[in-house]
Structure 1
Amino acid sequence: MLLDAYHPTLKGGTGELSDWAIGQKLVEMTAGLMLAGGLTPLNVARAVREVRPFGVDVASGVEATPGHKDHAAVRAFIAAVRQTDHPTEPTDMN
């Protein structure tokens, strides 16, 4: 299950934060919650500690400009997740 933020006029990658309280409740009810919506290198560790999702998803939170990822921000995002007491394990995408 993926929990993402909603914006009435924009589609995906809006940078809007998802409701972490809903995420916490969903984690209690189901396994495998992926958290998305407004995650950045600055807030992802807190999100992982508070919600305890199976994984996290990021798009605009690590972009230098729309559609172009900032490699340093991607590395910072991954490092922040790895430093939590509840790290999400990387998935082999091959």
Structure 2
Amino acid sequence: MLMVETLPFVPSPGTAVVTLSGVADVYMIQIYGDSPRSRVFSEYEVAEEEGTPVAAESVFEELEDPEDAHIEFFCRVAGITMNDLWNLEWTPLAP
């Protein structure tokens, strides 16, 4: 799992970082700024959370599969569709 404290930059306010780990089935959301939010989902339950949930988190009640729900959460926060997601150009955060 990527620990957000190790990001090679300081996210600007309102930035949402969504970390997915298919190996350990751990899904982490970190939102920075005036209304910070942190949520860790592990072993099919919320393991940790701080801050007020954001509207896009309603997807966790709509979709049963945690991986699908977190990918859809990312799309909603980014304002894109699932089709848009597959057409994005990906760049590593650090070499």
Task: Provide TM-score, normalisation by structure 2.
Answer: 0.31
Larger relative contact order, structure 1 or 2 (CA cutoff 8 Å, min sep 6): 1
Task: Provide TM-score, normalisation by structure 1.
Answer: 0.31
Considering fraction of residues, name the structure with more helix.
1
